[in-house]
Amino acid sequence: MGASTGDLVNRAAFHTLSAQDQARLDEIARRTPRKQGQTKAGWADALKAAHPDLSAADAAIVVGTLKHNIAVRAAFRTLSAEDQARLDEIKAATPRKQWESNAAYADRLKARHPDISAADAAYLVGGVKDDITKRAAFQTLSAQDQAKLDEIARQTPQLPGQTKAGWADDVKEANPDISAADAAYLVGAIKHNIARRAAFRTLSAEDQARLDEIKAATPRLPGQSNAAYADRLKARHPDISAADAAEVVGTIKHNIARRAAFQTVSAQDQARLDEIKAATPREQWESNAAYADRLKAVNPDLSAALAAMAVGSAKHDIARRAAFQTLSAQDQARLDEIARRTPQKPGQSKADWADDVKEDNPDISAAHAAIVVGATKDNIAVRTAFQKLSAEDRARLDEIKAATPRKQGQSKGDYADDLKAVNPDLSAALAAIAVGSSKKMIAGRASFKVISDRS
């Protein structure tokens, strides 16, 4: 099964409770039910707030997870009255900003209160100590090392709109001896995320020469993505590994290893895929996702893994497609009825159709709306109609959008930039909701980046 005995013993489902304890926990769950879209950890925090005497073990049983996952939550830590007063004072002096993430808030607490520990910061932000400890802001450097990194950052500053990973690659190129740990500290990332970058891998002279030869024989085409370039390398050099292809194209192994071109298929499965593709060939300009949906419609028993191989995509991207979701007969009938009552209008996009579906069916989840319209949950969940906002925030967004309407043909990113220019205090989270995008996509825009003095 791939799980250890310890893991299984710790699972809520494997605990034996007395009838009295079970009744008590059922009553707690009834009085403080899980909210729509709420994570298990978030629900556990809410349970603890409503029931201060609730143990981590009992909370884990209620929400259906491991005791360890709950015990590390800030809400379940026990503090002395003195420590609680100290942390309350820190929190009052540096309150959390609206929409600020745990990580960003922890970094800001550390900047304002240099002596704060990762454990205390985790308690204040409601996160896990391990997640905060590996933040660059909580690493300890000598004055000499700090000065060295400051100088490197000055010589190789972050470019406008550049990601932390991209900046780390530039830093490595300009400073070949820099370690992944130091580069991660400099750019404000986690060592693990930087260490797996191709630029930080160490190759023997022989392997480097071999990869240089492959790259020279099959150079990247203008505008070609990392993924497409890796697929072409595999086609020209069948023996190339995902790790080596990642090194050549400049990405991480994980991104390449999941590509269809790098999957190993049995002769029987390959023959089946060839037959499926011959019977249902790809249409000109058809996307991987659309082609996969069409293959599934013609071949209902086709798995997401095989469909991904057929279209040349990653299993993860295909598995989350509505066409590959499995519903109960009851849920399917309910969604069919919703689609019948609120059909897609001629020329209407899936996203706009989902908005209409939500308006007519306020209780529908993003996941179910995505299935109705044939999109991915992620693309629907970021839609404004599916966000939970206070009446005040909703009114503010409506006012902002009315004052600065979207131009015809304008991209979401450009529209967000316009909104930010007119409303400088607009956060990436609210801008993302306004334009119907994800916070991550908008936060990476140059107009939403806060460049430090050092960079």
**pLDDT, tens digit, 9 for 90 and up, residues 296-306:** 888 888 888 88
Domain coordinates in residue numbering, the chain = 5-76, 81-138, 143-200, 205-262, 267-324, 329-386, 391-448
Decide if 151 contacts 132 (C-beta within 8 A). no
* DSSP-assigned beta bridge partners for residue 399: none
Nearest to 443 by CA among 188, 192, 100: 100
Decide if 198 contacts 166 (C-beta within 8 A). no
Q: Mark out the alpha helices in 374-436 (DSSP H runs).
A: 377-381, 391-403, 412-422, 428-435
- pLDDT 10s digits, 166-217: 899 899 989 988 988 889 888 887 777 788 787 887 778 888 889 999 999 9
pLDDT computed for residue 4 by the predictor: 40
Nearest to 306 by CA among 294, 298, 297, 296: 296
Which pair of structure tokens corresponds to residue 17? 């409770």
Which pair of structure tokens corresponds to residue 273? 């895929």
Amino acid at 91: K
Chain length of the chain: 455
pLDDT computed for residue 303 by the predictor: 86
pTM passes above 0.85: no
Query: Which residues in the chain land under pLDDT 50?
Result: 1-14, 451-455
The one-character DSSP state at 126 is T
Which pair of structure tokens corresponds to residue 47? 């349970």
SS3 321: strand
Amino acid at 278: A
Amino acid at 422: V
40-50 helix and 19-31 helix, angle to the nearest 10 degrees: 100
The rounded distance, in Å, linking the Cα atoms of 96 and 296 is 46
Nearest to 200 by CA among 219, 177, 225, 226: 177
The rounded distance, in Å, linking the Cα atoms of 376 and 366 is 9
The rounded distance, in Å, linking the Cα atoms of 451 and 445 is 12
